[in-house]
Every structure is written in structure tokens, then in C-alpha cells.
């Protein structure tokens, strides 16, 4: 019984009680989509996201006057991503169904729209990767572009040569665009993890995030292989074969895929889940069942099955909606579930004092990996689910990635199960627990996990205090010299010399690094605070909006909502966090730590300066310009990381981009600039050396 998979259930929708719940759901969906389409991670699994979006759609249908402009409904990728390279034809998403009844309803609706029966259905696996368009000119591979927001994507042509299944030259000299999915096979993922482990001691989280990161990476000292499977083709103007465009517009989809394979591009034709043509919906459902059963044995990930009207005339008559074609649907497979036993619950304290439970499970294999621990969210979640120690529980991989406990299997209870004991004091320090919200927190907040908090603040992307190792921070804490990272700025040389294994040279180096950190930009200081719901990019946006820490502290939740990415749910949390952090910020000010963002006029609480929008004193040199930095930085920029170069671009008024397009205003060419420089030359983009760029933005360094 323990090893039997739980019966998958089609997802219901998340019921939204009022306008506030709807607004919070929209923000959650947008944030989840942004991470999912950005680095492959997400706070929500696929089923939870689908339920959430369906709930949003249902609420909007009943309250059309309350629809928010940022709603993910009706948008490709939930409106979460954009790009610089326009698509010749929009790359749309697919609508979803979750069970045979949903498939039948969709098929019947399509046939009603056509006014006739569909006699040929294409049935293919829905590959779990990243959609890209691949452009060939006269048979030669010239460009790779991500889907982006459907209208335009990101140029990732630097990945050419690392993707299995994409030949550099087709078997015919045609000008064509192949669309498909880039992913990592299980073997490629294992190899990528081994390379990353050897490089920095870490591994990738999962194949999808590894593929997303690898496709965009340009500066890694190691190369990881990717795999491509094509799922469509369309003419890429101007075409060289006069009849190619007509053929691609009139051939059935299945015949187009045969042509794509004949050109030498990899499709699923040689896999156990090859695309087939079915004559009826029952035949479609039979093939769906076959693909779903093969899922666990495949060397690559799938998360569903794509069903399309195969004939070109049916597709043309059905047309397109705003975000998806009407002639295709994704039949989503549920997350893989199994039944195992809940052995214990651990209570861990995070960097900000949040107390989070984690389930210890009887080891169970799910989708090729052995699961021993799983997420439980919080105490209220445990209560809602009615979990007990010793319960048999359904466990699934959210988005096929993060193990989570779904629910107890009540009919398997024996009577020996015991209630889960909730902590009465902080498990880390023994202080009281603030239970006023669902996410319990130690009343000492960050002070409870001072080591983690200070280590984070001193990190490279925050204050970047070189030579300050975690072990040294622990020494300073144990000696009573510091209680938070603000105290680092008041530690004396005499105090440092009393520490074990701390000589005069090491003490002087550390003091110099701390002194350098005193003048970091406001965005880095704000990031070091570790405000919940913010990170490196958000900290830069907040700093650019308000200009000074004083203006940020005076901002209301409504003021903060003017910052891109801060919605109605996140804004009050930031205000609350800043109020809590006020003593720490005051200590930083007293220690002489910089509290202004270079090149920005100090703003009022409403985000304005002297009645005008906050912004540079004079128009900065890169105002409104898309800037790409490529190659190895030299001269005055040699010591800057790529992230620091991007920060410099933004401080000087520009937008840092990773790809060259017709909209690129400037390319900073370091050593071995390569293909990006060549493309910039072709497009007539202005190119400068590192030294020229450094002089251009000297006032913003």
C-alpha cells in the first residue's frame, strides 16, 4: 500500500473571497510566473499555479470592473517576461485541460467553432523545458531567441554549438524558423551538476532551472550541454525557396514535423513518445494514456501532452486568441505522487527569524529521486491538513521539483498516530515566538540567527566585505564584539588582534575591507538589510526610486507600490520590516555608512524631489539606453564583476541587457567580445572599449 501512487485528481480552482484576496492572488501569480520563466524556480507548483490562475479567472468573470492591469490572465507567460528581439510570428502559450472531460469539452468547442468534425488530431509530448525559436538562413544556423513575452524574446545565440539536436547546417539551404524546446536530459543534468560541484561546490536544483541558467550563461568557466526537440516550423522572411512558405502554411502539422526531421533537426520521432495522428478524441485519449505511462521511463522531463488540430485549414479557420491558439491545448499531467510515512517534524529558524516546519519521511522514490524531507509551510498549514506523526501521507514533487506533503491518508490510520507538537519557544535561541501571523517568528527576529544574517549582509552582492569568513563572524559574535552587521563598522584593531589566528596583517586587511564597505551604494546597503520580499534587483529599483534611506523610511505602502515589482501584498510587509529594522539602520547611519544612491536626487516620501520625479541631477550619459557588456572587462573595469558592471550601467541611467539587437544603444567590448561584437557591427550599434566606457560613466562609479 505504501508504494502505490495516489490517484491524481484534476485541480480545482482557488476560491477568492473578496477584492483583497483577488489582488493578493494576482501578485502571487505574477511573482511565481516571473521566477518560473526566469531561472526555472517558483514558490508554486504547476497544479497550485493552475488553481490560482483559474481562481483569478473566475473572480474576474464575476467582477469585471475590478480586473487589475497586472493580471496574468490572457497573457503569455503570465505577463512575467519580456525580450529585445521581435518574433516574426508571436510565440504564444497554450491553454490547459486536466482530465478527459476537459479534453472532450475543448474538442467539442473547437468543432463547433469550425462547423465541422476534426478528422486528424496531432498528439505529442509537452516537453518540460524552455521554448525558443531557431533561425536558419540559407540552411545555416544564425540565431536563437527565447519566447519572452510572446511578442519578443532574448537573443541567446551564444549557446549555438552547445545544443544537441540543432545542426549548424540543414540538409537543405532553406531560410526557416524552427520552434521547439531546450532542455537537459537526465544524463546532461548529472554532468552539469558534476561540473558545477567541481567548480564551486554547489549543484543545480533541477533540470529545468539548470537548462534556463545554462541557456543564458555566458561567463561560466565550464560548458554544459543542452538538448533541443523541435515542435514546429514557419517561414522566416525573406525566404530563399519560393514555395517553402506556401508548403509550411498548407501542410498538416504532422507532415511539417516530418520535414523538420528530414532537415536534420531533432524531434521526438525517435523517442517512445513520438508524435502521432489520431482520428478521434478517444484515440487521442488512448495516446495520452500511453505517453503518461511512459513518463517515468523517459530520459527527459515532460509535464503534459499537446493536442492539436493537425490540418492547416482547421488551424487557419480556428485562429488565435490573445495568448493561445484556439486549435491546440495542453493536457497537463498531475505532479507525481506517492504514499509514505510521516516520521517526524523538524522546526528550523531562518535568517530573518521565521520558524518553518519540515517533514521527515520514510524514504520514498519519486520521479527518479529518493525523498526523505518535504515542505510543510507553517503550523497553520499542519493544522489545516490534519497531519499527525505516524500518518501515511501523500507526497508529491511540486512542479516535479520540490517535495511537499499534500494530505494524510486517513483510512490507513491505525490509532497509533500522535499529534504533532508545536514549539512553545524558539527552537534556536529559546526566546518567545510571535504567533500573530501564520508564519511564526522568533521575537528576536534577525538577532536569533545573527550569524546567518551577518554572513548574508557581508556577501559579495551586498556589502562585499572581503576576507570576512563565517568562522570569523562567529568569533566576533562569541567575543561580544558584534551583535549585528552594523557593529562591524565599529570593531577596532585592538579587538581584532585578541581573536585566535588573527594577526596584524589579517586585521588590517579586514579593517580595510570594512572601510570600503562603508561607501557602498544605497542599493547594496538596502540589500544587506535582507528585507523580506526584496533582493538584489528590487533593492536597486527601490534605491533608484527614492535616492536616500531617509526617503525610503518615510515611504508609505502606497509610495512603495510605485516601485516596479512591489504589489499590494508585498508593500505593507516592506514597510513593517523597515520599521523593525530602524534601530539597525540608525546604527549604520551613526557608523558613517553611505545612505544615498549615486546619481539620484534625494526624494520625498511620495518619490519626488522638489516637486519633480526623483532622478539624476542632470540627464545621465546612458539615459534611456540599452547597454550590453560583453567579453572580459579590462582597464578601470577589470576588477568589477558582471553584476557590478550592470549596476554601473543602471546608475548611469541605462538598462543593462544581455543580448544585442536593433534597440541596443551601446556595446561595451572587453577582450574576446566575440559574436556580440560582430552582431553589433552588423547592426551599426555604437561600440566602446572598457576604458572609453569607464570615462563615460566616471561620475557614477
Distance, in Å, from the CA atom of 75 to the CA atom of 93, rounded to the nearest integer, reads 8
In which element (H, E) is residue 360 found?
strand 355-366
Q: Retrieve residue 362's grid coordinates.
A: 520514510
Distance, in Å, from the CA atom of 285 to the CA atom of 68, rounded to the nearest integer, reads 37
The residues near 8 (Cβ < 8 Å, ≥ 6 apart) are: 333, 334, 337
Q: Are strands 392-398 and 355-366 parallel, antiparallel or unpaired?
A: unpaired
Q: Which residues are catalytic?
A: 126
CA–chain centroid gap for 129, Å, is 13
The dihedrals phi and psi of 368, each to the nearest 5 degrees, come to: 90, 0
DSSP per-residue string spanning 422-485: PPSS-TTT---EE-SSSS-EETTGGGGGHHHHHHHHTSTTTT--TT--HHHHHHHHHTTS-SSG
The residues near 421 (Cβ < 8 Å, ≥ 6 apart) are: 345
Other Cβ atoms closer than 10 A to 643:
12
- DSSP category for residue 163: E
Distance, in Å, from the CA atom of 535 to the CA atom of 56, rounded to the nearest integer, reads 27
Q: Are strands 121-127 and 302-309 parallel, antiparallel or unpaired?
A: antiparallel
Q: Give the residue among 158, 173, 163, 137 at the shortest CA–CA distance from 220.
A: 158
Amino acid at each position: 500500500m505504501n508504494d502505490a501512487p495516489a490517484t491524481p485528481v484534476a485541480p480545482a480552482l482557488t476560491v477568492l473571497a473578496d477584492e483583497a484576496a483577488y489582488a493578493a492572488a494576482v501578485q502571487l501569480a505574477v511573482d511565481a510566473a516571473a521566477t518560473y520563466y526566469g531561472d526555472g524556480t517558483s514558490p508554486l507548483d504547476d497544479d497550485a499555479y493552475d488553481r490560482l490562475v483559474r481562481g483569478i479567472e473566475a473572480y474576474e468573470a464575476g467582477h469585471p470592473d475590478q480586473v487589475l492591469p497586472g493580471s496574468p490572465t490572457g497573457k503569455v507567460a503570465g505577463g512575467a517576461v519580456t525580450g529585445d528581439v521581435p518574433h516574426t510570428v508571436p510565440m504564444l502559450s497554450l491553454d490547459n485541460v486536466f482530465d478527459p472531460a476537459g479534453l472532450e469539452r475543448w474538442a467539442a468547442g473547437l468543432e463547433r467553432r469550425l462547423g465541422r468534425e476534426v478528422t486528424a488530431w496531432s498528439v505529442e509530448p509537452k516537453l518540460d523545458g524552455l521554448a525558443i525559436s531557431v533561425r536558419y538562413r540559407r540552411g545555416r544556423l544564425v540565431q536563437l531567441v527565447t519566447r519572452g513575452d510572446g511578442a519578443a524574446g532574448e537573443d541567446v545565440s551564444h549557446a549555438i554549438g552547445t545544443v544537441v539536436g540543432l545542426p549548424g547546417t540543414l540538409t537543405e539551404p532553406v531560410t526557416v524558423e524552427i520552434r521547439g524546446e531546450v532542455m537537459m536530459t537526465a544524463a546532461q543534468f548529472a554532468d552539469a551538476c558534476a561540473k558545477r560541484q567541481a567548480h564551486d561546490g554547489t549543484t543545480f536544483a533541477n533540470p529545468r532551472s539548470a537548462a534556463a541558467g545554462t541557456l543564458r550563461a555566458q561567463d561560466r568557466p565550464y560548458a554544459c550541454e543542452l538538448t533541443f526537440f523541435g515542435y514546429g516550423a514557419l517561414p522566416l522572411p525573406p525566404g530563399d525557396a519560393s514555395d517553402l512558405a506556401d508548403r509550411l502554411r498548407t501542410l498538416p502539422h504532422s507532415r511539417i514535423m516530418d520535414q523538420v526531421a528530414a532537415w536534420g533537426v531533432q524531434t521526438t520521432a525517435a523517442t517512445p513518445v513520438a508524435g502521432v495522428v489520431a482520428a478521434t478524441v478517444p484515440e487521442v485519449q488512448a495516446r495520452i494514456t500511453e505517453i503518461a505511462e511512459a513518463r517515468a521511463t523517459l530520459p527527459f522531463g515532460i509535464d503534459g501532452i499537446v493536442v492539436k488540430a493537425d490540418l492547416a485549414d482547421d488551424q487557419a479557420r480556428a485562429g488565435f486568441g490573445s495568448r493561445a491558439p484556439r486549435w491546440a491545448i495542453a493536457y497537463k499531467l498531475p505532479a507525481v505522487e506517492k504514499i509514505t510515512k510521516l516520521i517526524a517534524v523538524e522546526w528550523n529558524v531562518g535568517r530573518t527569524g521565521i520558524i518553518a516546519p519540515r517533514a521527515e519521511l520514510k524514504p520514498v522514490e519519486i520521479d527518479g529521486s529518493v525523498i526523505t524531507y518535504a515542505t510543510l509551510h507553517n503550523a497553520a498549514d499542519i493544522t489545516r491538513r490534519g497531519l499527525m506523526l505516524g500518518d501515511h501521507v501523500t507526497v508529491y514533487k511540486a512542479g516535479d521539483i520540490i517535495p511537499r506533503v499534500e494530505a494524510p491518508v486517513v483510512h490507513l490510520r491505525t490509532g497509533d498516530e500522535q499529534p504533532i507538537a508545536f514549539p512553545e519557544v524558539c527552537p534556536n535561541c529559546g526566546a518567545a515566538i510571535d504567533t500573530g501571523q501564520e508564519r511564526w517568528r522568533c521575537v528576536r527576529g534577525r538577532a536569533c540567527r545573527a550569524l546567518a544574517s551577518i554572513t548574508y549582509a557581508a556577501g559579495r552582492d551586498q556589502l562585499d566585505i572581503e576576507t570576512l569568513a563565517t568562522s570569523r563572524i562567529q568569533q566576533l559574535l562569541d567575543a561580544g564584539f558584534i551583535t549585528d552587521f552594523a557593529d562591524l563598522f565599529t570593531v577596532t584593531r585592538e579587538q581584532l588582534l585578541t581573536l585566535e589566528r588573527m594577526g596584524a596583517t589579517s586585521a588590517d586587511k579586514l579593517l580595510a575591507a570594512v572601510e570600503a564597505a562603508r561607501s557602498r551604494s544605497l542599493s547594496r546597503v538596502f540589500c544587506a538589510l535582507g528585507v523580506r520580499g526584496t533582493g538584489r534587483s528590487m533593492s536597486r529599483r527601490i534605491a533608484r526610486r527614492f535616492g536616500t534611506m531617509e526617503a525610503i523610511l518615510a515611504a508609505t505602502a502606497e509610495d512603495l507600490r510605485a516601485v516596479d515589482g512591489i504589489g499590494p501584498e508585498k508593500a505593507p510587509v516592506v514597510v513593517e520590516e523597515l520599521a523593525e529594522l530602524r534601530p539597525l539602520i540608525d546604527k549604520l547611519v551613526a557608523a558613517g555608512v553611505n545612505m544615498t544612491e549615486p546619481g539620484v536626487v534625494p526624494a520625498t516620501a511620495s518619490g519626488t524631489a522638489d516637486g519633480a520625479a526623483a532622478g539624476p541631477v542632470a540627464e545621465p550619459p546612458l539615459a534611456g539606453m540599452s547597454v550590453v557588456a560583453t567579453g572580459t572587462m579590462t582597464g578601470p573595469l577589470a576588477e568589477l564583476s558582471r553584476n557590478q558592471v550592470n549596476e554601473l550601467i543602471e546608475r548611469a541611467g541605462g538598462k543593462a541587457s544581455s543580448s544585442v539587437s536593433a534597440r541596443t544603444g551601446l556595446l561595451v567590448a572587453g577582450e574576446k567580445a566575440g559574436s556580440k561584437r560582430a552582431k553589433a557591427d552588423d547592426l551599426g550599434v555604437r561600440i566602446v572599449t572598457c576604458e572609453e566606457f569607464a570615462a563615460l560613466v566616471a561620475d557614477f562609479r
